[in-house]
Structure 1
């Protein structure tokens, strides 16, 4: 029997607490929806599909009328590497990665540590003397936005306007209750056009006057893979900007939310800051920044003993459901910052493993460690907090806190 479970998950009313729906999803290896979408919520099944060559990220390979593939590509644009299969994926990702991190730039991410520390310290300093504030707008949002702007050579004063467009731009149709919603489609198109206009001009500025930033180096790269075309540069730059801050904002906010909901874990972290890395990993497992990923079957794929996903079918991998699969994680709904063997799925897997995982981890660890050290008796003023609109990029849109004081750095 076809299910409407995905529509319930995608509905805004489910955003504060989707976990019971995710548990229902895990009852079967695959939940077939009334629109033909195949939704997968088990850890083992998702892990296998993330690495299966018969699973594509290219929406153009979806069967007509499916949930995935309903969006349109703007004329003159080239799809970013996030929605490209090999060999195009490895070529484009490799051209970007050589200016960002290992193996060709092994110290690239670590070289940003001092900058991130300074940004976090400055943002927390601004809270001195205040007893109430929104942690998202004051710390969790500006830090990763300014870091990615630095990496891409974007003037800091442009950050807010660009970031305002990014949330609408990433509202993929496959994660809407109605993938053909004209209002959402219009907002996404407008936001994408705004980002495209800005980055087209920005690329031309850097082409004429390159800096020391990652995007300048990509524009002028004469390495073994050759230069990206202008459409490829445009979509890679937009992808890096959006992906470089959206998920990390959620990570910082969600980690602080979990710690404040679990005072025993907060106390452990306050007593032993070396546990910060574990707190970030447990947040990634329990409250991942990305809840769902879209895929397409390019061949018939058997999942479990009896279910076959037909060729051309839309697939939704519910990463967040897999991260709480009791078959993989003991006491999966328990927040434990010392959890061993925490092999969550939050950075995806296979060739599409998250490009910026190392940077996101570093930003999250620095921000949370300093917040826990400096906020005196922090407490939630609203729980659950308001959540962002997208169901796939789930995170608090605001996190209103009260504190007794803010310690000096």
Structure 2
């Protein structure tokens, strides 16, 4: 059974309710699959491996026939810092970080709050007079895409087209039942190349006419170590665009799904809007946007009584770890006042999520305003349909009925 559990997790039929499979995976410190992939699901074990230097994010260190050996970057791009080890990781991440957050721009993310609040207010206003709508297409999806475009100086009119292309580009072969599926690979490569072509032209536009956006600053960076090379700029821009919205779309949708499934928790948030932060953290723990992270073992690693052999593909099951009863009391219970929400949904160590602060802000404002302004909201369908990816799991649609929309 253990050798097939991971494939069951990856199968689209498991998307609405993967939790029993994760429970089975947690029964072993390391669940070895029939292709040699090692899946680690316990909280303590995943947390330790996220910070272990014997675990690499560099897919180039994987064997060609492994799950991680199937992905290649688009021509003309370089691997992003997400799939680099130190010292290259810290160098590239640092060049991006100094235009996004501390120490160089400590107040930048917070300065985006008025823009995020305006976007959210306007999109809720557009729901006025409706009795039913799809939250994903009309709210959860467009807002993070617009924020990502703002960060990178992308014209708002390009947001929808780029967002839909990114859904194909982000499909990771290691999270498909068949990582060598030629049709999936062709679609993924086409989308990645399309995004790369767009950002190549966009970078050239910003070279000639820079704005105040993050990408313009990276292009014209005259600080230590800068600027990035063109392939590095290209892959970083594409990664920031995809990473800047894909996970936040899931976070907003999943948070509302959980609140509408648990009316007593929704009522607590409506009575005390300051609980929005707790609602987002509990959503990140219980229904994380990122379920699985891939790694390569660059040395033999003992995990419990099992040794992960050097060269193995390792899958860290963040979503399973977040529901580990050894770490969280009543782990399957949704409680927005839970005192301990030390989830692993943003990772840990050097690869801790680059945009965690911005994603939290967008999620908190979204659930606070949605629960304040929507009158008597209910789910029209439960479970909702889900996006196909097993790693970036979230509803593809979330139909909600309301009695009305309160004015801002």
Q: Corresponding residue for 2:327?
A: 328
Does the alignment pair 1:376 with 2:367? Answer: no
Does the CA contact (< 8 Å) of 2:30 and 2:39 recur in 1?
yes
Does the CA contact (< 8 Å) of 2:251 and 2:288 recur in 1?
yes
Does the alignment pair 1:115 with 2:115? Answer: yes
**Matched ranges for 1:86-165 at <5 A:** 86-165=86-165
Q: Corresponding residue for 2:47?
A: 47
Aligned counterparts of 1:136 and 1:75: Cα–Cα separation in 2: 32
Offset, 1:2: 6.0
Aligned counterparts of 2:113 and 2:162: Cα–Cα separation in 1: 24
Q: Corresponding residue for 2:344?
A: 345
Offset, 1:75: 3.2
**Matched ranges for 1:385-404 at <5 A:** 385-404=384-403
User: Does the residue aligned with 1:3 lie in a helix, a strand or coil?
Assistant: helix
Superposed CA deviations along residues 81-127 of structure 1, whole A, max 9, x for unmatched, are: 11011111111110001001112100010000000000000000000
Q: Corresponding residue for 1:358?
A: 357
Q: Corresponding residue for 1:279?
A: 279
TM-score by structure 2 length?
A: 0.99
Aligned counterparts of 2:363 and 2:100: Cα–Cα separation in 1: 18
Q: Corresponding residue for 1:78?
A: 78
Q: Corresponding residue for 1:67?
A: 67
Q: Corresponding residue for 1:191?
A: 191
Aligned counterparts of 1:68 and 1:218: Cα–Cα separation in 2: 30
User: Does the residue aligned with 1:244 lie in a helix, a strand or coil?
Assistant: helix
Superposed CA deviations along residues 126-183 of structure 1, whole A, max 9, x for unmatched, are: 0001100001111111111101101100000000110011111111110000000111
User: Does the residue aligned with 2:307 lie in a helix, a strand or coil?
Assistant: strand
Does the CA contact (< 8 Å) of 2:39 and 2:317 recur in 1?
yes
Aligned counterparts of 1:105 and 1:406: Cα–Cα separation in 2: 37
CA RMSD in angstroms comes to 0.8
Q: Corresponding residue for 1:218?
A: 218
Segments ≥4 residues shifted beyond 6 Å: none
Count of residues paired in the alignment: 408
Superposed CA deviations along residues 296-317 of structure 1, whole A, max 9, x for unmatched, are: 000000001x100011100000
Aligned counterparts of 1:378 and 1:246: Cα–Cα separation in 2: 25
Q: Corresponding residue for 1:258?
A: 258
Does the alignment pair 1:249 with 2:243? Answer: no
Does the CA contact (< 8 Å) of 2:376 and 2:402 recur in 1?
yes
User: Does the residue aligned with 2:343 lie in a helix, a strand or coil?
Assistant: coil
Moved more, 141-150 or 229-238: 141-150
Moved more, 277-286 or 165-174: 165-174
Q: Which runs of 5+ in 2 are unaligned?
A: none
